[in-house]
Amino acid sequence: MIGGIKGLSKEELKEKIKQDFQRKIISLFAIDPKEATTYQQYLALGEVIKEYSFERWLQTNKYYKQNDVKQVYYFSIEFLLGKLLVNNLINLGIRDVCREALSELGITLEDIEEAEREPGLGNGGLGRLAACFLDSMASMGLAGHGNGIRYRYGLFEQKIQNGYQVEVPDNWLSEEYVWEVKRSDRACIVKFGGTVRFDIVDGKLKAFHENYEPVWAIPYDIPIIGYGCNTVNTLRLWSAEPFENVFDFASFSRGDYIKAVEYRYMVQSITQVLYPDDTNEQNRILRLKQEYFFVSAGVQSIIRSFKKRGKPIYELPNYVMIQINDTHPALVIPELMRILIDEEGLPWENAWDITTKTVAYTNHTIMVEALEKWPIDMVKTLLPRIYTIIEEINRRFCSEMLERTGGDWQKVCNMAIIHDGQINMAHLAVIGSSSVNGVSKLHTEILKNEVLKCFYTLYPEKFNNKTNGITHRRWLVEANPDLARLISETLQTDRWIKEPMLMLRFKDFAEDKLTQELVANIKFNNKVKLAKYIKEKYNIIVDPRSIFDVQAKRLHAYKRQLLNALHILHLYNMLKENSSLDIYPRTFIFAAKAAPGYILAKKIIKLINSIAEKVNKDPDVKDKLKVVFLENYCVSLAEKIIPAADVSEQISTASKEASGTGNMKFMMNGAITIGTLDGANVEIKEAVGDENIVIFGLLAEEVLDYYKNGGYSSSQLYQKDLRIRRLIDQLIGNFFDVPSGEFMDIYNHLITYNDEYFVLKDFDSYHEAQMKIDKLYRDTKRWRKMMIINIGASGIFSSDNTIQKYADEIWHIKRVEIPD
Ligand code: 26V
């Protein structure tokens, strides 16, 4: 193994990197280092850098153990890490010396960094949040680790063909993954199926789980390197492997060979693929298997390492905290109960006390379709012991509620965990944990007053808000190095990278002419870079002097890419009517993946591309409008797009976006938000002030009121508003060069089914807001001032602040300094 880098001078380190890198190429590939491909160079450099972190990793674990540090485990079914080479180099503080070392070998570091393939182990916001949290926990010296799944295939890769989305499997593990370490010695067994038998042993009722199928859970650990400190935490991802001797040779000869092969296939399927966020496709048994698989393995490994400390089991909540990222890991609750009762021999009441104190739950959506429910029969068959525990939790909860409500059955049914043949995972999570939080102020209020109202009345003390955040180390220092440098020069310190609230001082320079010019130049250069990428990849020429107006996020009806698209079509119509119409040139950029089975979303992609085709080839609007759809939105594409954005589209139907985190990434890079008062946009507005954001549209309370009491008719709007009628007619007429009826689903959504997300209702207000943007952008000084205020204020949205609140208010843990 390569030795550590502790205590080396810069020159020594440079020489060491050169040597280690070249030796690694030889030992990995048996070739002359000069002949290595860029990808081989990446693999070698990655190995070297990973090994540099080992010293600190060991040191961190030793420190945690010796000092009995309370450990937090962040359980998430997704971790959307993005590339790690740049990130690790920055956090180890050796990127510059590494660049020099390689350049002395005639190699450009940036080329190697570009060669890394990103693991797409997440759908969007939820998975990316988990990754930002890992970076913050390590960088702040908090003992916080991740627990998740090592999917063989990540989220699909998106290609656009003839304007349609096509999904290609993401075989990210076809080459080895540099950043992981396989730890077969820490494997666990997870049990599926079988039966449960109860028996009296020593006068106590005991459960026996029999005839189950065992599956090996093999952990792969990824070091999570903190910035500017010695902390290296662990992200543990589990992979399923068959148990070799389940169907032994004796059973082969009895003709069970087929069964043995089927068993292997079943096991491998568990961690084979990440499910796309598709709320239409529910109740997939494999998904339930995934959830229990990583939960059971994670809890077992936590208990195993806790027991090594030699503390009594009832002390668990003093040393361990499990945060569950949405309900996907909610089986933590019955699993911990199972271990405490069946394996540790605790009585129910004590086990329940320990469990509820150890677990905390974060809710990430109020969309009813996305709230998890599992059919009783499925859980009973797949997880018989877990089912009996859930049943007992439910029984005790319901009888307590019956008493409290004086026999109000209706209320008890509404709050029950098991109801109508299904298990309600959000109810299980709320009842079985000590803390329930939403992810923005507005979202938490909606949870308390609407979605989980009954529970809020029952346990007001459990509910709290933790507004999301993003790591400014990836989204500013790494993605926009020129802007990061300017901030450091302006503040005359780079301490803000450790203490992001210092970024607020950048706001003091909002009126400073020089700062304004420098910020504008950086933005322009980033736009030139993106324009170059667009030209190379799509052969579309976009003008970096035009406004770059960007909507980049998953495609969902509630996020209203459709509103943006229809509005572009409206601008096009206006320009066709009056070619001298004075609108400031704009480049509309979209990037979005739709779930493979989400038909409406896929039609919206086709519509955007159809509008793009119409607009981009029409010489009449050539200097005013351009529309580009960038395929395969992912973390590394976001890092290219966001620093180049002037306008950030955050236009979800109010009340629907729990928080949003893209909104924070854009403001941090100096884009001005056009948005509704939804999710964290509300707090962004508070942070920058009304004059530095452009707000439009219905309020959450108005939207909720329409849902409850009716009163909105989209077909009336269609009748009354000529602009809207024209747009809708264009959709279903022969305006676009598409098969007839192509956009019928969109038409039906907007008109036949009364426009569930108020696209047409908010159209007018959105147009006004867009005209305001147009006017503001022309006022160069004003716009630059707004940019600086947004950049400075974005310090508030660093995930360091979010994590500090989790640490103080939910986890009750303190920062520790790992010694050299
Ligand atoms: C739903 C499903 C349904 C079944 C298949 C797999 C799957 C995976 C993900 C989801 C959606 C989970 C909810 C979610 O991603 N919420 C987002 O969380 C962000 C971080 O808190 C937040 O910023 C976004 O507003 C919120 O939509």
Answer yes or no: is pLDDT of 372 > 80.
yes
Answer yes or no: is pLDDT of 513 > 80.
yes
* Distance, CA of 136 to CA of 95 (rounded, Å): 19
pLDDT at res. 175: 87
* Distance, CA of 597 to CA of 341 (rounded, Å): 42
pLDDT at res. 538: 97
User: If you average pLDDT over residues 650-663, what whole number do you get?
Assistant: 98
pLDDT at res. 685: 98
Answer yes or no: is pLDDT of 7 > 90.
no
Answer yes or no: is pLDDT of 805 > 70.
yes
Q: How far is the CA of 364 from the centre of ligand 1 (A)?
A: 6
Catalytic-labelled residue, pool 191, 385, 554, 785:
554
Q: Which two tokens stand for residue 390?
A: 């859930």
pLDDT at res. 427: 98
Model confidence pLDDT, tens digit, residues 198-224: 999 999 999 999 999 999 999 999 999
545-798 maps to CATH 3.40.50.2000: yes
Model confidence band, residue 255 (pLDDT cutoffs 50, 70, 90):
low
pLDDT at res. 290: 98
Active-site residue flag, 559:
yes
Model confidence pLDDT, tens digit, residues 263-285: 999 999 999 999 998 766 677 99
Active-site residue flag, 328:
no
Model confidence pLDDT, tens digit, residues 468-490: 999 999 999 999 999 999 999 99
pLDDT at res. 591: 98
With a Cβ cut-off of 6 Å, ligand 1 is lined by 123-126, 129, 275, 277-279, 326, 364-365, 370, 439, 468, 657-661, 679
User: If you average pLDDT over residues 385-413, what whole number do you get?
Assistant: 96
Protein residue whose Cα sits closest to atom 15 of ligand 1 = 126
Answer yes or no: is pLDDT of 247 > 70.
no
Q: How far is the CA of 294 from the centre of ligand 1 (A)?
A: 18
Answer yes or no: is pLDDT of 248 > 80.
no
pLDDT at res. 261: 86
- In ligand 1, which atom is closest to the CA atom of 124? 15
Active-site residue flag, 65:
no
User: If you average pLDDT over residues 171-178, what whole number do you get?
Assistant: 93
DSSP output for 578-639: -TT-----EEEEEE----TT-HHHHHHHHHHHHHHHHHHT-GGGTTTEEEEE-SS--HHHHH
Answer yes or no: is pLDDT of 772 > 60.
yes
pLDDT at res. 544: 98
Model confidence pLDDT, tens digit, residues 523-571: 999 999 999 999 999 999 999 999 999 999 999 999 999 999 999 999 9
Region of 611 please: left (phi>0), alpha (psi -120 to 50) or beta.
Answer: alpha
Q: How far is the CA of 125 from the centre of ligand 1 (A)?
A: 6
Active-site residue flag, 665:
yes
Best of 121, 123, 291, 797 for a ligand 1 pocket test (most atoms within 8 Å of beta carbon):
123
Helices vs. strands in the chain: H and E counts, helices first? 33, 23
* Distance, CA of 383 to CA of 241 (rounded, Å): 19
* Distance, CA of 139 to CA of 127 (rounded, Å): 19
Active-site residue flag, 427:
no
Answer yes or no: is pLDDT of 249 > 60.
no
Domain with CATH 3.40.50.2000 in the chain: 69-81+121-370+426-466, 545-798
User: If you average pLDDT over residues 297-310, what whole number do you get?
Assistant: 97
pLDDT at res. 630: 98
- In ligand 1, which atom is closest to the CA atom of 652? 25
Catalytic-labelled residue, pool 462, 665, 749, 767:
665
- In ligand 1, which atom is closest to the CA atom of 661? 23
* Distance, CA of 355 to CA of 299 (rounded, Å): 11
pLDDT at res. 653: 98
**Residue with the two structure tokens 């075989």:** 171
CA angle centred on 367, ends 687 and 465, rounded to 5°: 40
pLDDT at res. 251: 54
Answer yes or no: is pLDDT of 41 > 80.
yes
Model confidence pLDDT, tens digit, residues 773-796: 999 999 999 999 999 999 999 999
User: If you average pLDDT over residues 349-378, what whole number do you get?
Assistant: 95
Answer yes or no: is pLDDT of 3 > 80.
no
Model confidence band, residue 343 (pLDDT cutoffs 50, 70, 90):
very high
User: If you average pLDDT over residues 439-452, what whole number do you get?
Assistant: 97
* Distance, CA of 129 to CA of 246 (rounded, Å): 39
Q: Is the pTM of this model over 0.95?
A: yes
Best of 121, 326, 666 for a ligand 1 pocket test (most atoms within 8 Å of beta carbon):
326
Model confidence band, residue 745 (pLDDT cutoffs 50, 70, 90):
very high
Answer yes or no: is pLDDT of 325 > 60.
yes
What fold characterizes domain 69-81+121-370+426-466? Rossmann fold (3.40.50)
Active-site residue flag, 554:
yes
Q: Which two tokens stand for residue 733?
A: 């007429």
pLDDT at res. 254: 60
- Please give the share of the chain, as a percent, with pLDDT higher than 70: 98
Q: How far is the CA of 743 from the centre of ligand 1 (A)?
A: 27
